[in-house]
Amino acid sequence: MITCIIIEDEPLAAEKLKGYIEKIDFLDLRATFNNGVSAISYLNRSKVDLIFLDICMDELDGMQLMAALMNLPKIIITSAESQYALLSYEYSVSDYLLKPFGFDRLIKAVNKVADEMKNQTIAEPSFVFVKTEYRTERIDLSQIQYIVGMKDYLSIVLENKAVMTLMSFSDILQLLPASKFSRVHKSYIVALDKIKHIERNRIHIGDERIPVSESHKTQFFNLLKAHKHTG
């Protein structure tokens, strides 16, 4: 399953693209944005595999958005302007679709992305290092149950202890595999494999009851669905 978002300021173009994506069973559309500013805010707290990105937008255009992101996912440009094609490839975009394009051209582009992802040989990490007071500590990912925000600190709750770190949520999310961990609330990240059950938007991990907020609900349950399909 390839998770993706659309960033497109033309409503008709966005609806057409959304309709195409819904026909492709290995694409999981997480969100659609009509401007780059809202998309940046989303991408700072959530990871996706692929962005369908328009170039010409107000406030923050597609080129500026790619320059602003530190860790770019796969990018498929969807633009009515051809003059940005050469420049866009400096960001290693997977394909450049010139509007208007049909479903056949889109499926060719997403198949290319799927092939690129299959050929990536970078293994997911089994551990991370975090700074705690006067030392840097190794944390085995398999030991993490959940992470909770506590004022200026994060508490990484392991199976046998808790580790306090001054990292932000966005920093720790950059280290964690997006397929195994999900932010479910402004104050919580959970390890999917530690969830016992979910009841009334409350995640049960050990003796902890963790709320799922409305702002993270759709993303979390989509990730659970994708995890179930690949598990």
Cβ pair 44, 70 in contact under 8 A = no
pLDDT, greater one: 179 or 213: 213
Q: What is the dihedral of CA 197, 203, 208, 213, to 10 degrees?
A: -170
State yes or no: pLDDT of 156 exceeds 70.
yes
CA angle 17, 18, 24 (to 5 degrees): 95
**21-25, 52-56, 68-72, 149-153, range with the lowest pLDDT:** 68-72
Residue 18 has pLDDT above 60, yes or no: yes
| Most confident region among 85-89, 92-96, 142-146 by mean pLDDT | 142-146
Instruction: Tell me the backbone φ, ψ of residue 95, rounded to 5 degrees.
Output: -165, 160
| Range from 8-22, 47-61, 193-207 carrying the lowest mean pLDDT | 47-61
Give CA–CA dist 64/87, Å, rounded.
12
Q: Which whole number is the average pLDDT over 109-125?
A: 79
Contact, 51 vs 4, CB < 8 A?
yes
Mean pLDDT of 163-178: 89
Q: What is the mean pLDDT of the chain?
A: 88
| Beta bridge mates, 78 | 97
Please say whether the structural domain 127-230 has been given the CATH code 3.30.930.10: no
Task: Provide the whole-model pTM.
Answer: 0.54
120 band by pLDDT with thresholds 50, 70 and 90: low
C-alpha gyration radius of the chain: 19
Token pair, residue 42, equals 């989303």
List beta partners, residue 51: 5, 75
Where exactly are the structural domains of the chain?
Answer: 2-119, 127-230
Confidence of residue 85 (pLDDT cuts 50, 70, 90): confident
Report yes or no: 131 and 167 within 8 Å, Cβ to Cβ. Answer: yes
Which of 41-45, 75-79, 103-107, 205-209 is predicted with the least confidence, judged by mean pLDDT?
41-45
> What pLDDT was estimated at residue 36?
86
Interior/surface letters 143-181, b for 16+ CB within 10 angstroms, e for the rest: bbbbbbeeeeebebbeeeeebebebebeebbeebebbbb
Q: How many CA atoms lie within 13 A of 65 on its CB side?
A: 31
- Least confidently predicted of 27-36, 113-122, 151-160, 183-192: 113-122
Tell me how far the alpha carbon of residue 136 is from its chain's centroid: 27
- The percentage of the chain sitting over the pLDDT mark of 70, rounded to a whole number, equals 96
Does the pLDDT value for residue 52 go beyond 80?
yes
DSSP bridge pairs for 77: 53, 96
* pLDDT value at residue 122: 55
| Answer CATH for 2-119 from 3.10.20.440, 3.40.50.10800, 3.40.630.30, 3.40.50.2300 | 3.40.50.2300
pLDDT (0 to 100) of residue 123: 60
Check pLDDT > 60 for residue 157: yes
Q: Which residue has the tokens 């290319």?
A: 112
CB atoms within 10 A of CB 205: 17
Side-chain half-sphere CA neighbours of 82 within 13 A = 3
